[in-house]
Amino acid sequence: MNKNIFCVDIGGSKLICGALNQDGKILDTFRAEYPKNYTVDTVTTLILEGYRKLKQYNFYACGVAVPGLCDFASGRWLYSPFSGLGDIPIAQLIGHMTKLPTFADNDVNVSALAERRFGVCKAIDDFLWITVSNGIGGGLYLNGKLYRGKSLSAGEIGHFVVEEGGRKCGCGNYGCLEAHASGASITEIYYEKTGLDISAKEIADLARNGDKTALEIWQSAGSYIGKAAAYAVNLLNIDTVVLGGGAAEAFDLLATTATENLNKNLFSKANPNVKILHSAPGRYAALMGCAALVLENKKEN
Ligand SMILES: [Zn+2]
């Protein structure tokens, strides 16, 4: 019987395909880095390679997470800020290659679905999911379902201005959360202060081993995340904020200042007991979200 799910997390710089069961357990993976100036053909060729390596797991459907804008209803990948790729019928292309019913959505949205189905929000109907990775994105889960917004871009918390006249953001504005607290910005800020060009993960390890500059940068990132989260909570009156994605693996370094600055900026009488939680799916939220997306939409054969 076909009961597993073929999951495809199309990242900005790399691809992960996974064989997942209906409990969100990752049975096997296939990973590939994209070459420079990759095209949609590069991506689909790698996905087919991943499918061939994993198809022994007997899939009944496929879920796809894409960076940038995606029209869930039509399965079209509309635009990716990393590669400039856009207007691609991604669900149709992968469905054609694999002969599987295929669903596609934005990677941050499906991460929120993963948290709800498999993670720390199983019993929580209203929460904000924040991806802290190379960039920062947000997914809104409200009244027990994903809120996608009028033109599919709800939850763009990465572009909340948290520092007037602050660092330049990829969106063209200054002082966005993404420019001050993403993994990429942590690498940049550390480089500016020390001349060392190392990854956010390496900077986190240094912070844990007593590097004061590294610790200050992570704490500052946490503080900005707390500020942006407070604005979102004041607007939505939700009591749960979940941090996931690769850079949120440094939750131990972010959580204290994030919580402090959240509480400082909250209308606290209206929003008692707001919590910032660490995602359970963590860095695999988007991949597990592909399975959650399928489970929301398609029963096994
Ligand atoms: Zn921005």
Distance CA 282, CA 120 (A): 11
Cα(28) to centroid(ligand 1), Å: 35
Cα(284) to centroid(ligand 1), Å: 25
- Mean pLDDT (whole number) for 86-105: 96
Strand pairing report for 4-10 and 59-66: parallel
Cα(298) to centroid(ligand 1), Å: 35
- Mean pLDDT (whole number) for 14-29: 97
**Cβ contacts of 43 within 8 Å, gap of 6 or more:** 10, 15, 34, 85
Cα(227) to centroid(ligand 1), Å: 15
- pLDDT tens digits, one per residue of 182-214: 999 999 999 999 999 999 999 999 999 999 999
Cα(80) to centroid(ligand 1), Å: 15
Cα(228) to centroid(ligand 1), Å: 13
Nearest to 109 by CA among 78, 50, 149, 150: 149
Cα(149) to centroid(ligand 1), Å: 18
Distance CA 73, CA 84 (A): 21
The model's pTM is 0.94
Task: Find where tokens 């695999």 sit.
Answer: 284
* Class (C level, CATH) for 122-279: alpha beta
Cα(125) to centroid(ligand 1), Å: 28
- pLDDT tens digits, one per residue of 34-61: 998 889 999 999 999 999 999 999 999 9
Residue 84 pLDDT exceeds 90: no
Cα(171) to centroid(ligand 1), Å: 4
How many Cα neighbours within 13 Å face the side chain of 243? 29
Cα(94) to centroid(ligand 1), Å: 31
Structure confidence at residue 82 (pLDDT): 73
* Mean of pLDDT over the chain: 95
Residue 12 pLDDT exceeds 90: no
Cα(168) to centroid(ligand 1), Å: 8
How confident is residue 301, by pLDDT bands cut at 50, 70 and 90? Answer: low
Distance CA 181, CA 169 (A): 11
Residue 233 pLDDT exceeds 80: yes
Cα(172) to centroid(ligand 1), Å: 6
- Mean pLDDT (whole number) for 11-28: 95
Cα(177) to centroid(ligand 1), Å: 7
Distance CA 261, CA 251 (A): 15
Nearest to 43 by CA among 97, 5, 102, 112: 97
Cα(134) to centroid(ligand 1), Å: 13
Q: Which fold has domain 4-110+284-297?
A: Nucleotidyltransferase; domain 5 (3.30.420)
Helices (H) and strands (E) in the chain, counts: 9, 13
Distance CA 92, CA 34 (A): 21
Structure confidence at residue 81 (pLDDT): 76
Domain ranges of the chain: 4-110+284-297, 122-279
- pLDDT tens digits, one per residue of 245-270: 999 999 999 999 999 999 999 999 99
